[in-house]
Amino acid sequence: MSMDDLRVGVIGCGRHARSHFEMIAAEPRVRLVAIAELDDGRRAEAEQHLSVPGYSDYRRMLDEQDLDIVHVVTMPAHLKAIVLDCLERDINVSVEKSPGMDSTETQDMADAEATSGARAIVSLNRRYLPEVLAVRRLAREHGGTVNCGAIYNKALSATSERFDSLLPPPIISDAIHHVDLLRWFAGPSEDRASVPTEVYSVVADGPRPVEHRQNAVIRFDTGAIGSIESQYGVGGRIQRAEIHAQDFSAYLDLTKREKKVEMYRSTPDIQPRMVGAQIDEPLDLDAVGGAGFNEVKHFVDCILEDRTPWSNLKDAVITMKLCEAIRSGHKGTLDL
């Protein structure tokens, strides 16, 4: 397959699709050729803005367009049937998070991929942030992650109850990004995430609908310990993370488009005392694909080079099961 042959279609043109359109437009090896959207207004707006044909029936788009990749950016409840349709046609597919309503649906999609001639990637995009990749690389240089943490808090959404039947609980549909980030931070190598072996979760929901509050400590197969705080119905949207290795720490603010990173390293003083100091030099983003690296670039690389994406469906099943364990208040060994 030549590098200019990748024709892309997008199914779903809501808010989450905007970032997909941006990444597709920035990737020279792909070309957006069609979109599908049930809502007439959104479809017309996308057609005008993107200058591509739009379809109200995604199946017709799949029939009429010779597509190499389809981005499925719908509500989780609608994902499975569409993803299975694409995989049955041997079309490579990008699956929006969460990959289904529960881990069973994710497993069904993974099973379909195993018998398909196509590949799939799940849009767990924190794995692909250059800043995340760079601090993860530094942690490996310091012997590997020993501890990592994540905060994913939000105010209540006015649409929370409205979409209740289309979305799993927020820890799965939304905060899954940072649950997965813990697995990624604790991973044993550049291309592998860790596997949770123990989970100790406390759930203490508030009185309002979807006012979910959960806190968990997780042990991973690499020996690293992770922790997550995820509260809905608090003061606002905050997304932060931290990663620690021997004599190295990094704190990331991922709340806004511009990511902020503080790093610290300790060095010998008078033995056995160590002195910690903030690292002033910038992150080496070039070493991890550059400032513009993202999931689309990675997926195109995988398609052209016949490689398995980092956030593949089989691996996403593990993240989904971890989210479910956290939500259920699981305490003890986690059998996957």
SS (H, E, C) the chain: CCCCCEEEEEECCCCCHHHHHHHHHHCCCEEEEEEECCCHHHHHHHHHHHCCCEECCHHHHHHHCCCCEEEECCCHHHHHHHHHHHHHCCCEEEECCCCCCCHHHHHHHHHHHHCCCCCEEECCHHHHCHHHHHHHHHHHHCCCCCEEEEEEEECCCCCCCCCCCCCCCHHHHCCHHHHHHHHHHCCCECCECCCEEEEEEEECCCCCCCCCEEEEEEEECCCCEEEEEEEECCCCCEEEEEEEECCEEEEEECCCCCCEEEEEEEEECCCCCEEEEECCCCCCCHHHCCCCCCHHHHHHHHHHHCCCCCCCHHHHHHHHHHHHHHHHCCEEECCC
Tokens representing residue 74 in the block: 């719908």
- In whole angstroms, give the CA distance from residue 54 to residue 40: 10
Cα atoms found within 13 Å of the Cα of residue 166, Cβ hemisphere only? 9
Q: How confident is the model at residue 271 (pLDDT cuts 50, 70, 90)?
A: low
* pTM score of the predicted model: 0.95
Taking only the tens place, the pLDDT of each residue in 226-261 is 999 999 999 999 999 999 999 999 999 999 999 999
Task: Tell me: pLDDT of 194 over 80.
Answer: yes
pLDDT at 157: 77
Q: Is pLDDT above 70 for 1?
A: no
Tokens of 270: 């008078």
Q: State pLDDT tens for residues 35-47.
A: 999 999 999 999 9
pLDDT band at 267 (very low <50, low <70, confident <90, very high): confident
- Domains of the chain plus CATH, in order, are 6-125+295-310 (3.40.50.720), 126-289+318-333 (3.30.360.10)
User: Stretch 175-195: mean pLDDT, rounded?
Assistant: 98
pLDDT at 296 over 70: yes
| pLDDT band at residue 288 under the 50/70/90 scheme | very high
Q: What percent of the chain has pLDDT over 70?
A: 96
Phi/psi at 195 (nearest 5 deg)?
-115, 125
Task: State residue 33's pLDDT score.
Answer: 98
Closest CA to 209 of 234, 237, 235, 233: 233
User: What's residue 4's pLDDT?
Assistant: 60
- Tell me: cis bond preceding 98? Omega within 30 of 0 counts: yes
Residue-averaged pLDDT of the chain: 95
| φ/ψ of residue 71, rounded to 5 | -95, 120
Please write the tens of the pLDDT for every residue from 94-132: 999 999 999 999 999 999 999 999 999 999 999 999 999
Q: What is the pLDDT of residue 134?
A: 99
pLDDT at 293 exceeding the cut of 70 = yes
For position 182, what pLDDT does the model report?
Answer: 99
Distances in whole angstroms, Cα of residue 86 to Cα of each of 11, 34, 38, 106, 295: 11, 15, 18, 15, 19
Per residue in 69-80, pLDDT (tens digit) is 999 999 999 999
Residue 57 reports pLDDT greater than 90:
yes
For residue 5, what pLDDT is reported? 81
Q: What is the mean predicted confidence (pLDDT) over 8-26? A: 96
**What does the pLDDT average to over 136-165?**
88
